[in-house]
């Protein structure tokens, strides 16, 4: 699946978020610089475009190229590493000035990423690092810190004592760091015990909903479930409702309108570590332009994450919280 977009106007999300995105971009990239970059060609090999995370990443790439200059071709692998590797090879053949990648399975696509680098194409990764491949810039969240913070929230809510379960996401090294952060926090809480766990597999037959159903059946007295991503937390909330466990505490990681609506609706989902997917994508495009202009680009950009609870959603559900500067306008403080 692919699309080529002539970015003469604005992406859908940039248009919807209005003057904030444009004002931020104008400050970062003056008009005379944008004029000099109009003929640059970019390609994006996206691991997925579904869910709020994929939509925000896609919107960030589109809006940044629209504002900063150039044309953009995009492919969507639908979480299939083999498909994404083939798409990367196809994009290499088109010889773009820079290649943007959001890896769903970073280890599996590493050889294709190395082929892009060997072909002299600068690579910019968003959301996850690709092990063994030296990308020019990787923009991502502090995954270890998000795992720490969300587990600390549960431990505080349980006052340091209780039974918890966890739903893990070991699909790539970056996402697995969340579980390691969660384990680090638990070292300070010896009276909180993990009584059940399940690791999600993209090729598996068990859904997060089924996994949480099983956890609640076998552990009816569990107090909380730590989830490595919001999709599992949302499905876990549905399982909690079906089990009449309104007292259960669930946390997730990702952010976006779906999770925010559950949090605001007084459900068992109490916290989402809301990542700045839009900013990851936007900064990738920005630093691609910087690199191509012969200026320095950072090897690693750690984008903001907000610990979103119901009190932060009293005035509505913001879909644009991860546009650069919007979090501050909302009065949100980055957690990690």
pLDDT band with cut points at 50, 70 and 90 for residue 9: very low
Report the chain's mean pLDDT, rounded to a whole number: 91
Among the ranges given (5-9, 33-37, 211-215, 267-271), the one the predictor scored with the smallest mean pLDDT: 5-9
Tell me the whole-structure pTM to 2 decimals.
0.90
State residue 34's pLDDT score: 60
Domain chopping of the chain, boundaries: 2-141+276-303, 143-274
The helix/strand/coil state of 164 is strand
* pLDDT exceeds 70 at position 14: no
State residue 38's pLDDT score: 78
Would the CATH topology of 2-141+276-303 be identical to that of 143-274?
Answer: yes
In the sheet where 123-126 sits, what is the strand order? 2-6, 71-76, 41-46, 98-102, 123-126, 137-140, 300-302
Report the pLDDT averaged over residues 224-243. 98
* pLDDT exceeds 70 at position 304: yes
Structure-token pair, residue 14? 């940039």
Beta bridge partners, 124, equal 100, 137
Q: CB of 300 within 8 A of CB of 137?
A: yes
173-186: pLDDT as tens digits: 899 999 999 999 99
Sorted by sequence, the CB contacts under 8 Å of residue 121 that are 6+ apart come out as 92, 95, 96, 97, 98, 99
State residue 157's pLDDT score: 98
70-100: pLDDT as tens digits: 999 999 999 999 999 999 999 999 999 999 9
CATH class of residue range 143-274:
alpha beta
Residue among 103, 245, 79, 87 nearest 172 (CA): 103
pLDDT band with cut points at 50, 70 and 90 for residue 190: very high
Report the pLDDT averaged over residues 53-74. 97
First to last CA, the chain: 34
Report the pLDDT averaged over residues 38-67. 96
Backbone dihedral region of 287: left (phi > 0), alpha (psi from -120 to 50 degrees) or beta?
alpha
**2-141+276-303 CATH fold:** Rossmann fold (3.40.50)
206-218: pLDDT as tens digits: 999 999 999 999 9
Task: State the DSSP string of 78-144.
Answer: TT-HHHHHHHHHHHHHT--SEEEEE-SSHHHHHHHHHHHHHTT--EEEESS--TT---SEEEE--HH
* pLDDT exceeds 50 at position 23: no
Q: CB of 109 within 8 A of CB of 103?
A: yes
């Amino acid at each position: 699946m692919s699309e080529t977009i002539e970015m003469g106007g604005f992406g859908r999300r940039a248009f919807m978020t209005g003057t904030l995105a444009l004002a931020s971009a104008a400050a970062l990239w003056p008009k005379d610089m944008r004029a000099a970059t109009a003929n640059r060609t970019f390609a994006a090999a996206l691991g997925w475009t579904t869910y709020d995370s994929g939509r925000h990443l896609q919107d960030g790439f589109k809006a940044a190229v629209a504002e900063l200059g150039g044309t953009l071709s995009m492919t969507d692998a639908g979480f299939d590493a083999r498909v994404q590797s083939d798409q990367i090879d196809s994009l290499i053949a088109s010889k773009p000035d820079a290649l943007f990648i959001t890896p769903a399975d970073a280890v599996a696509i590493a050889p294709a990423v190395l082929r892009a680098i060997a072909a002299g194409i600068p690579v910019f990764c968003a959301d996850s690092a690709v092990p063994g491949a030296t990308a020019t810039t990787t923009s991502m969240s502090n995954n270890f810190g998000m795992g720490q913070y969300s587990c600390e929230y549960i431990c505080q809510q349980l006052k340091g004592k209780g039974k918890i379960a966890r739903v893990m996401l070991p699909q790539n090294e970056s996402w697995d760091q969340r579980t390691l952060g969660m384990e680090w926090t638990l070292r300070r809480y010896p009276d909180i015990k993990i009584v059940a766990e399940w690791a999600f597999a993209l090729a598996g037959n068990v859904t997060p909903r089924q996994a949480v159903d099983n956890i609640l059946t076998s552990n009816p007295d569990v107090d909380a479930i730590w989830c490595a991503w919001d999709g599992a937390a949302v499905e876990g909330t549905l399982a909690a409702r079906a089990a009449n466990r309104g007292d259960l505490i669930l946390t997730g990681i990702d952010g976006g309108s779906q999770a925010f609506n559950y949090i605001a609706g007084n459900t068992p989902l109490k916290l989402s570590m809301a990542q700045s997917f839009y900013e990851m994508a936007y900064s990738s495009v920005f630093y691609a332009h910087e690199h191509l202009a012969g200026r320095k680009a950072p090897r690693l950009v750690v984008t903001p994450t907000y610990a979103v609870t119901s009190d932060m959603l009293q005035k509505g559900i913001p879909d644009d919280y991860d546009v650069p500067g919007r979090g501050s306008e909302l009065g949100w403080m980055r957690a990690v």
